[in-house]
Structure 1
Amino acid sequence: MGTTTGEGETGPSLVDELRAVVDRYLGRLRVDLAGPPARPDPDVIALLADPFSSVDDVHDRLSAAESHLRGRGDRRAVFLTVYVAMTARVRAGIEGETFDDPAWVRRYLVAFAEHYRKALVAFERDERVAPAWRVAFGASLGGETLVIQDALLGINAHIVNDLALALDDVGVGTGEERDRRHADHLAVNRVLKSLADVVQTTLAEVYDAAGLEEADELLGRLDERATLVGLRTARAFAWENAVTLADWPRLSSFVRWRVRTVSTGAAYALLAPGLDQQVMAELADIEHGEPVLAALSDAVHRDDTRPPA
């Protein structure tokens, strides 16, 4: 059984977490990751060196960073494509009065983006960065991942590692205020989950068009791997950890170890989907022969003004 945190949201079970711990440490023995660039990209640093000041600032600068990385063929753009679309939709929700506490959601969105900004800049500068982000960035730069892996690695690092810390930054409140903020939190995260589904659907269409029957098996196995922590349960995991940080500050070190270890274990699991290497190579060939990044960007940005459901 997992930990239930409202609206049927269930966090990872103890067994899931133990599996993530094992993958966290065994993963070091079997995954070869690219290191940071020899020199920081001056355009990335110029765009993201300064803290974000508003939701509009988050959207505009992340959009510019996504365009820059995608133009260079840098696969770190894959997660940014999804993230920019999420930001646009949440912004539309704020403007459309979707949320009970729009001022808190604005702070939430900026604080959440700050964790990503700091991680990317730190990686560029070869500074200390959370292990899940080092895996995500290093794998994407290594050139051996599939687009779906690039997307899921970024989503995993940002939700499982960063989200509880961002929620702690803005405060989860107490009593009825906490209940209202939890409802807004779930609405924000449903956007990211829906966009992850768009990524998977878009890639499935690309693979199917190429006649690769094993694509469904790959996507299914990656989805299964993602549930290790899981991406389906990470909303509850993040909220649970944020509440622990708020109510039991003496457990801060444990919570930070927990999110760091589980997110890193999940990252290594996503890099080992258990599919035949020949099939993986065929999928990679299809991606290299198709404008996949452009198709993905078009798909996730198709309705950026739609607020969260």
Structure 2
Amino acid sequence: MTVSPASPSAHRKQHPRAVPLHETKSPDTQGPIRLDDVLWNPVDAEEALEGLEKILGRLNARDDSRAIFLDIYAIVTRKVVHLLNRPDAGGFLEPEWLSHLTGRFAEEALIAVRDSLKNLPLPTAAWRFATHYPAQRLTQPYQDALLGVSAHINHDLGMVVYDNIAHQSPPADARRMARYRHDYFHVNEVLRTCIPECVDLLAERYRCMSTRLLLRVPFSRPVMERAVMRMLIVWRQRVWENVVAMLEAQTPEEHQAVVERVRTTSGRIAQALCADKALWRTVLGDAPPYRLTLPPEAWPGVVVPRPDAGVDARVS
């Protein structure tokens, strides 16, 4: 078993009560989590890893479940950094582009976690789910991981890739687009190699009961790993199709229609990932914070950017 060294905490404590939303204080530690020295706006893969590891260590020191997705994310980013530093750049055709994209991509997750720690409203429903539920300890570690992975892929990834390509000067030609497409899908192989470590991380460091029980079933590990990889392939394929649709949009309305589809789809996936918790709270007579009967745009605290604010609009 190999587990990421990013976080010193060996095991996740079990807490029977939910803590106040976005609480940043530990029961035995005074003061909020320090945020001012974290690299929130990385420009490349190495800076992305630096920012992730710093805030990850602090979240784990406070037993904050918002660390779980970042720990998963750090495993992948660490692998990307390692590959890009190889003489052959790990098989990537545009290593500088991928490194810059990795930094910009990580910024989205880092900013979402930072703003949730500062109790600021988040601009996307998917990230509202991915930070609120872990902060309240309403979900299991595997759900916390999936919520973050989904928000980052199903919402952030397409926006970041589109923004990078659309604002290049000179514009990317067909040859360069083919190389970008190769590198984008080559990341799938990186993800495939990271899945076993991520499973071990959930089972051992975060003591995810569902993961541990599933691993006790004979032959379950390869089935689970293949299922997760298949899910990631489907998600990332759809993201690339959305990127192409935004790049080929002929009018602002066509572009905005894709953006709204991305926001709604990512929000609905988050709903599905938390549906069991929302249903159980409803049975108990305690309305969940984000009800399945409400569209993502109507959830409390979700700020929907104006169409003229651009795809990068977010709370700062």
- Place the TM-score, normalised by the shorter chain, in its bin: 0.5 to 0.7
- What are the ranges of 5 or more consecutive residues in structure 2 without an aligned counterpart? 1-17, 26-30, 167-171, 281-316
Q: Which residue of 2 aligns with 1:264?
A: 267
- Asked whether the 8 Å contact 2:203–2:209 carries over to 1, the reply is yes
Asked if 1:76 is matched to 2:70, the reply is: no
- Tell me: higher relative CO, structure 1 or 2? Use CA pairs within 8 A at least 6 residues apart: 1
Identity of aligned residues (%): 26
Q: Which of residues 252, 255, 260 in structure 1 aligns to 2:255?
A: 252
- What are the ranges of 5 or more consecutive residues in structure 1 without an aligned counterpart? 1-31, 278-309
Per the TM alignment, residue 214 of structure 1 is displaced from its structure 2 partner at its CA by 9.7
Where do residues 64-213 of structure 1 align in structure 2 (5 Å cutoff)?
64-96=54-86, 97-98=89-90, 99-125=92-118, 126-171=120-165, 173-200=172-199, 203=202, 212=213
Aligned counterparts of 1:197 and 1:38: Cα–Cα separation in 2: 31
What SS does structure 1 have at the residue aligned with 2:139? coil
Per the TM alignment, residue 170 of structure 1 is displaced from its structure 2 partner at its CA by 1.6
Aligned counterparts of 1:266 and 1:245: Cα–Cα separation in 2: 21
Q: Which residue of 1 aligns with 2:284?
A: none
Aligned counterparts of 1:94 and 1:171: Cα–Cα separation in 2: 20
Per the TM alignment, residue 234 of structure 1 is displaced from its structure 2 partner at its CA by 0.9
Aligned counterparts of 1:76 and 1:211: Cα–Cα separation in 2: 20
Aligned counterparts of 1:199 and 1:210: Cα–Cα separation in 2: 11
- Asked whether the 8 Å contact 1:222–1:270 carries over to 2, the reply is no
Aligned counterparts of 1:91 and 1:162: Cα–Cα separation in 2: 20
Gap change, CA 1:223 and 1:272, over 3 Å in 2: farther
Where do residues 220-259 of structure 1 align in structure 2 (5 Å cutoff)?
230-248=231-249, 250=252, 251-259=254-262
Gap change, CA 1:82 and 1:203, over 3 Å in 2: closer
Aligned counterparts of 1:226 and 1:67: Cα–Cα separation in 2: 26
Gap change, CA 1:224 and 1:104, over 3 Å in 2: closer
What one-letter code is carried by the residue in structure 2 that aligns with 1:65?
A: I
Higher helix fraction: Structure 1 or Structure 2? 1
What SS does structure 1 have at the residue aligned with 2:157? helix
Aligned counterparts of 1:223 and 1:157: Cα–Cα separation in 2: 20
**Cα displacement string for residues 95-129 of structure 1 (whole angstroms, at most 9, x for unaligned residues):** 12221011111111111112112222222231333
| Normalised TM-score (structure 2) | 0.65
Gap change, CA 1:237 and 1:110, over 3 Å in 2: same
What one-letter code is carried by the residue in structure 1 that aligns with 2:182?
A: A
Q: Which residue of 2 aligns with 1:62?
A: 52
Which shifted more, 155-164 or 145-154? 145-154
Q: Which of residues 38, 47, 50 in structure 1 aligns to 2:38?
A: 47
What one-letter code is carried by the residue in structure 1 that aligns with 2:232?
A: L
Q: Which residue of 1 aligns with 2:287?
A: none
Gap change, CA 1:54 and 1:140, over 3 Å in 2: same
Aligned counterparts of 2:196 and 2:138: Cα–Cα separation in 1: 22
- Asked whether the 8 Å contact 1:83–1:192 carries over to 2, the reply is no
Gap change, CA 1:210 and 1:268, over 3 Å in 2: closer
Aligned counterparts of 1:209 and 1:35: Cα–Cα separation in 2: 24
Gap change, CA 1:259 and 1:201, over 3 Å in 2: same
What one-letter code is carried by the residue in structure 2 that aligns with 1:131?
A: A
Larger Rg over CA atoms: 2
Aligned counterparts of 2:198 and 2:46: Cα–Cα separation in 1: 24
Gap change, CA 1:92 and 1:220, over 3 Å in 2: closer
What one-letter code is carried by the residue in structure 2 that aligns with 1:261?
A: T
Per the TM alignment, residue 219 of structure 1 is displaced from its structure 2 partner at its CA by 9.6
- Asked whether the 8 Å contact 2:44–2:101 carries over to 1, the reply is no
Aligned counterparts of 2:70 and 2:266: Cα–Cα separation in 1: 18
Aligned counterparts of 2:158 and 2:210: Cα–Cα separation in 1: 39
| Normalised TM-score (structure 1) | 0.66
Count of residues paired in the alignment: 243
C-alpha RMSD of matched pairs (Å) = 3.9
